[in-house]
Amino acid sequence: MPLCVETEGIAAIGRPGSGKSAIIEGLAAQALARGDRVFLLDAKGSLARRLRRFQPHVLALRGANTAVWDVGADIVTYLDALEYATVMIPESHEPVWSSSSRLVQAAMIRHCQARYGRAWGWGHLNRMLSLPIPQLEKIVQRRMPEVATLLKSSGEEPSNAVLSVVLNLVAHVGGLVQTLARAERRTKRRLSLAAWARGDGSRAPIILPLDIRYHDQSAALAQLVVRLLRANLLDPDVSPGVDHRVWIFLDELPRIGKDAIGPVQDLASLGRDRGIRTVMTCQSPKQLDDLLGEAGSAALRENFGLQIICRSAGAKTRTPSPKGGSASAPCAGRIGRTARRASGRQRKFRPCRRKLSPAISACISISGDAPSFAPLCSASRIFLYLNGT
């Protein structure tokens, strides 16, 4: 695959079992062997084990997390605090409650910033969330007087409005903060995502597993991380016109929610001239249509110049072979004939003899102006190989 194709963005689309995750794993392993920086959103939770030879940083909510996000090193300004609060606390039916909770959360972070500099972490934030309302009011009054009226009690007992603001805050933020505070106690290894994005310090890959049991918390953390990577990778200080060799792999992108789509579009469209490769997978264009609407779905897909359609129609799911590998069932005759007729129109990569990843049955096209997501399927086996591997 030419270097210029890598930076055009890659989208793999196909139903479960069609090989999307295998494509991501194969590309990631080659990029890491080449010395590139890699971030992976792991939808299945198996990449940490399969890529352990590269000694990745695993930011897991539970289990074998090898590192914890150093939030104090990365959220350093008031605007950073507001961005964090906006992601963590979704818009409510009555915006006054969500807006008030976001401001109180930002005030708490400003207190941590003022008192501890960049040395605060999830444990500090967790303790603040458990403070009695009068103590919390004093902190907010000191750091953000204009927000303190939101927590002002009338008499000795807090009013219903104050309780609503605090309960809304704790309900949306408390679970994730408490979970990460426990992870922070388990490991002393902290990872600054901003420093990693800038190329400072460790260049080891970062793997963020999506936790099915704690989906909402896991998705919120993924949204925060993607936004932070966008802010730092697209920062004016990151020189344009230079290939920084950074890969952002987002397996099953729709799972982390609509709020992550904007940052992903920015990374895919604005990161090209900085050598930022954005790779995403989803099950079908219809899945994106349901999440974003037809116009939003089309706008997202237009940012990916290389599309891999993995058995989107007319084929059986890959099944395990007796030897532990995978076996691909042949495509239906009509789809096979359609793919052969389209072979003259599609610019395909030829399969290499050297096998580095499981066989993927796919139809690959490089777009001219806009990507085409025709549901084609080819019986040929296609492998993607990066330059320098």
Q: What is the CATH number of the domain that holds 373?
A: 3.40.50.300
- 326 close to 319: Cβ distance less than 8 angstroms: yes
Total number of domains in the chain:
2
Task: Identify the pLDDT of residue 188.
Answer: 79
* pLDDT computed for residue 119 by the predictor: 95
List CB contacts of 293: < 8 A, sequence separation 6 or more: none
388, part of any domain: no
Distance CA 350, CA 302 (A): 24
Whether 387 maps to a domain, the answer reads no
Residues 261, 363 share a domain: yes
Domain end point (choices 141, 158, 184) = 184
Q: What is the pLDDT of residue 3?
A: 80
Buried b or exposed e, range 220-237, using 16+ CB within 10 angstroms: bbbbbbbbbbbbbbbeee
Domain stop point among 169, 184, 199: 184
Residues 369 and 276 in one domain: yes
For residue 376, the model assigns a pLDDT of 36
pLDDT in the model for residue 378: 36
Does the residue 84 lie in any domain? yes
CA 137/CA 117 separation, integer angstroms: 21
The angle at the Cα of 309, spanning 306 to 312, to the nearest 5 degrees, equals 160
pLDDT at residue 275, rounded to an integer:
92
What pLDDT is stored for residue 317 in this prediction? 42
pLDDT at position 353 is: 35
Query: In terms of C-beta density within 10 A (0-12 exposed, 13-18 middle, 19 or more buried), how is residue 380 classed?
Result: middle
Co-location of 16 and 84 in the same domain: no
Q: Is residue 119 located within the same domain as residue 173? A: yes
Q: What is the CATH classification number for the domain harbouring 117?
A: 1.10.8
Q: Are residues 104 and 59 in the same domain?
A: no
Residues 155 and 42 in one domain: no
Residues 218 and 177 both lie in one domain: no
For residue 337, the model assigns a pLDDT of 36
What's the pLDDT at 145?
86
Q: What is the pLDDT of residue 301?
A: 92
Positions in the chain whose pLDDT score sits under 50? 312-381
Look up the domain containing 98 and give its range. Answer: 72-184
| pLDDT tens figures, 279-290 | 999 999 999 999
Q: Is 145 a member of any domain?
A: yes
CA-nearest of 38, 11, 54 to 208 is 38
- Same-domain status, 196 and 213: yes
The pLDDT value recorded for residue 66 is: 81
Smallest CA-to-CA distance from 283 within 5, 1, 3, 20 is with 20
Asked whether the beta carbons of 89 and 98 are under 8 A apart, the reply is yes
**Same-domain check for residues 230 and 342:** yes
Residues 240-250: pLDDT tens digits? Answer: 888 899 999 99
Same domain assignment for residues 84 and 44: no
Boundary residue ending a domain (165, 184, 203): 184
Q: Are residues 224 and 272 in the same domain?
A: yes
pLDDT at residue 77, as a whole number:
93
Same domain, 249 and 136: no
CA angle in degrees (0–180, nearest 5) for 31-32-36: 70
pLDDT in the model for residue 311: 65
Domain assignment present for residue 207? The answer is yes
